[in-house]
Amino acid sequence: MSEKKGWFSKITSGLKKSTDKLSHGIGAIFTKKKLDNETLSDLEDLLITCDIGVEVTGKILASLKKTRFGEDVTDQEIKEFLASDIVKIMEPYEQEIHIESGITNVIPIIGVNGSGKTTTISKLAQLWRDQGLTLSLVAGDTFRAAAVSQLKIWGDRLGIEVVSGEENADTAALAFEALQNAQKKHVDILLIDTAGRLHNRADLMAELDKTQRALQKLDPAAPHQCIMILDATTGQNLYAQVETFKKYINVSGFIMTKLDGTAKGGVLIGLVDHFKLPVFAIGVGEKAEDLKMFNANEFAATLLGLASDDGTS
């Protein structure tokens, strides 16, 4: 099996719940029907229940109404129209994580409890290591011994240094020390695992700002990227999470995890449209190869059940 077909199989399987709900729903609405107010209302309900969001749903339906209202339409035509509009929304935010040469790129990984931060760090570390870059990992979740142990296991497997401190150690001080050492060794990337925190806990959120200020004492441009991990199963609550994190730290973009466990994959469309932030990658499983750099065309075609067996629409 080719690499492209192998990934397509993974993303198709991973998005199956979201695809089934959206694709089957469209098929049920547009069976030999005109595009009228009734079908538009049904489609609106479907898109919102698929977690695409009220704001972006309104934009897509306004565009559809303008071009096809009153005409006979098939479910295939509706799927193709929606996929095209989704690509228009998301393609400008399809972006790789920029790694600058000649410096230690400081990249905190942030998100709420259980979103998949530590697992995602291991996947990114393997990806960059395989590209010949040097890394150091920081076990910044000092409140949770299991998180430190998990990161150390991944570090051992990948042959990558893991910097850790005592339990409940000051994360900002640990990150400062780790960056100091990484700069001396000319390490390409410093990946910082942060404590999972509830977005409604101001004290925990303020710690992110403290860590950021500590890093800037060594490099005023740090952090160079700050990646927020989004758990797809959370659905519409992700809006409040992103909004709060953005108040405390400059979020560079998203990686969405757990798309294989939910029918809420459409939430990513509304988040991108609302926050105008890039999607770096999506995760559809536990293995390193289950993290894939985001491609808007692949995502839209798969979500609408339009992709062929080689991943093309």
Sequence letter at residue 269:
I
Query: Which pLDDT does position 308 carry in this prediction?
Result: 62
How many other β-carbons are positioned within 10 Å of the β-carbon of residue 276? 9
Query: Which pLDDT does position 1 carry in this prediction?
Result: 41
| Whole-number percent of the chain with pLDDT over 70 | 93
CA distance 256 to 277: 13
Give the pLDDT mean for 58-80: 94
* DSSP code at position 167: T
* DSSP code at position 90: H
For the chain, the domains span 1-93, 105-294
Query: Which pLDDT does position 122 carry in this prediction?
Result: 94
C-beta separation of 47 from 75 below 8 A: no
Query: Which pLDDT does position 142 carry in this prediction?
Result: 75
* DSSP code at position 233: G
**Number of C-alpha atoms within 13 angstroms, CB side, residue 34?**
6
Nearest to 292 by CA among 3, 2, 82, 1: 3
List, edge to edge, every strand of the sheet that includes 227-231.
161-163, 135-140, 189-194, 105-110, 227-231, 253-257, 279-283, 291-293
Q: What tens digit of pLDDT does each residue of 163-187 get?
A: 998 877 889 999 999 999 999 999 9
CA distance 135 to 181: 12
Hunting for tokens 């998203």 — which residue is that? 254
Buried b (16+ CB within 10 A) or exposed e, 129-151: beeeeebbbbbbbbebeebbebb
Nearest to 195 by CA among 135, 117, 105: 117
C-beta separation of 192 from 111 below 8 A: no
Give the pLDDT mean for 113-135: 94
Asked if the model's pLDDT at residue 99 lies above 90, the reply is: yes
Nearest to 8 by CA among 301, 304, 214, 255: 301
Q: Which CATH fold topology does 105-294 show?
A: Rossmann fold (3.40.50)
Superfamily of domain 1-93: SRP54, nucleotide-binding domain (1.20.120.140)
Asked if the model's pLDDT at residue 121 lies above 70, the reply is: yes
Q: What tens digit of pLDDT does each residue of 234-248 get?
A: 999 999 999 989 988
177-181, 187-191, 196-200: lowest mean pLDDT where?
A: 196-200
> Mean pLDDT, the chain, as a whole number?
90
Sign of dihedral through CA atoms 311, 80, 51, 54?
A: positive
Give the pLDDT mean for 107-129: 93
Q: What tens digit of pLDDT does each residue of 203-252 get?
A: 777 888 899 999 999 999 999 999 999 999 999 999 999 998 998 889 99
* Long-range CB contact pairs, 15-18, < 8 A, 24+: 15/259, 15/260, 15/265, 15/284, 15/299, 15/302, 15/303, 16/260, 17/261, 17/262, 17/263, 17/265, 18/50, 18/259, 18/262, 18/263, 18/264, 18/265, 18/266, 18/303
Helix (H, G, I), strand (E, B) or coil at 116: coil
Give the pLDDT mean for 135-146: 85
Asked if the model's pLDDT at residue 270 lies above 60, the reply is: yes
Q: The whole model's pTM is what?
A: 0.91
* DSSP code at position 94: B
Query: Which pLDDT does position 197 carry in this prediction?
Result: 65
CA distance 286 to 263: 18
Sign of dihedral through CA atoms 258, 90, 8, 253?
A: negative
CA distance 63 to 267: 19
Nearest to 56 by CA among 251, 275, 296, 295: 275
